[in-house]
A and B are shown apart, each in its own frame.
Chain A
Amino acid sequence: MSRALQKYLDQVILYTNRKEEDAAKIRVELEDHLRQKITDLQTQGLPREDAIFQAIEDHGTARTVGYSLRKGFALLDVRTQGTARGFIAIGPRAIGIIAFGNVAVGLFAFGNFAFGTLAFGALAIAGLLSLGGISLAPLGAAVGLAAVGRGAYGMIACGGLAVGLRVPWAIDGVSVLNGDNGLQFLQHFRTHEGTVALIAITLSFFLIFPIMNGIMCSLKRNEYLRIEKADPKLVE
């Protein structure tokens, strides 16, 4: 078989990140497809070498095809480009329970733009806790250079940890979330003990960030190394 074809299939399989048995079946199917295409192109008068490159080009880039053949929602999905989807999703863009990427969406989201229950990032928007340059947590605590959230109502602001805005809709009496609703427990944090507890909780969240960041960076590095090992040219 042509070396170019062999190399292309190797790369596709590398990006699919499937179990050996599944990968072998996919490879057989794609190889059959490409061989037939090459034969057809040769029949049309193309020289063999040109037919091989044309068939590969028409098939799509190895990365596009390989990534598209990944499982829908894997336990761990790490992508160097595009959107990763998985329980743990790592990529330039990531969607998962734990998401880490340039744009991250998940229960726990870490990234330049992070959206989740707990979000950490340059722009972090979260339901419960957000830490970031611009931090929004309409129902929870927001900590950041500009922080907007329920936290400003009595949690973080009382603890003195928030550096940011205290927005009008979070002020008691104006907020649609104030009064007798389920978030009234936040009033506890207005006491001295509550404030201390809040500081402790917030600091522990601050500790989570570098730890999670380290784990995610390590997983991402492993993926780069795996690809680089197969073909150094594939890693930009």
Chain B
Amino acid sequence: MTRLSKQTLDGNVETLILAILEAGPSYGYAIVKELNQRADGILQLGEGTIYPVLYRLEDKKLLAAKWRLAENGRQRKYYRLISKGRKALAANRRQWQILSTVMRKVVGSAEKLSPQPKLKGAML
């Protein structure tokens, strides 16, 4: 079974989070859940490790955060993508598309690889 290595993920988790938040404000647990759903089980984040990334994005002013009262009566921190974050996401997306094209051309498409590797969840 093939595992996505931490090195492969490093540097891309920020982009993944920015992409999730593009749809609208959200909070830690919901972001992790959405990420796991969209990744279709291939990517399984160590859930606690998402917070340092969120704080880092907040420090870089790519996200804004606000505490609000949740429906369960607890205080909850919501993160929202702001202008600088949108620009960063667009730039990262372009970079990823270029890299993806290069990898596909040089390494070959996944279909050509034999035998087809089974992907297992990667932990951050």
Interface residues of A (CB under 8 A from B): 12, 25-26, 28-33, 35-37, 58-60, 64-65, 68-69, 72
Contacts and interface: CB of A to CB of B under 8 A. Distances in A.
Contacts of B55: 69
A60 B56 CA distance: 19
13 contacts: A28-B75, A30-B48, A30-B51, A32-B28, A32-B29, A33-B28, A33-B32, A35-B74, A59-B46, A59-B47, A60-B47, A65-B46, A68-B49
- B47, B56, B77 pick with most chain A CB within 10 angstroms: B47
Interface string B5-39: 00000000000000000000001110010000000
A69 B52 contact: yes
Contacts of A32: 27-29, 70, 74-76
Given A35-B74, A36-B29, A37-B29, A29 B48 contact: no
B56 to A, nearest CB: 8
Interface of B: 27-29, 32, 46-49, 51-52, 55-56, 70, 72, 74-77
Contacts of B51: 26, 29-30, 65, 68-69
B48 A65 contact: yes
B17 to A, nearest CB: 14
The secondary structure that dominates the B interface is helix
Of B29, B48, B56, chain A has the most CB atoms within 10 Å of the CB of: B48
Secondary structure call for the A interface: helix
A33 B29 contact: yes
A176 B55 CA distance: 48
Contacts of A69: 51-52, 55
Contacts of B47: 33, 37, 58-60
Contacts of A68: 48-49, 51-52
A-B pairs with lowest CB-CB distance, top 5: A65-B48, A60-B48, A60-B46, A59-B48, A68-B52
B46 A29 contact: no
Contacts of A59: 46-48
Contacts of A33: 28-29, 32, 47
A155 to B, nearest CB: 43
Nearest to B75: A28
A6 to B, nearest CB: 15
Nearest to A56: B48
A205 B76 CA distance: 53
Contacts of B72: 35
Nearest to A66: B48
Contact of B49 (A26, A29, A60): A60
Contacts of B27: 32
Contacts of B52: 68-69
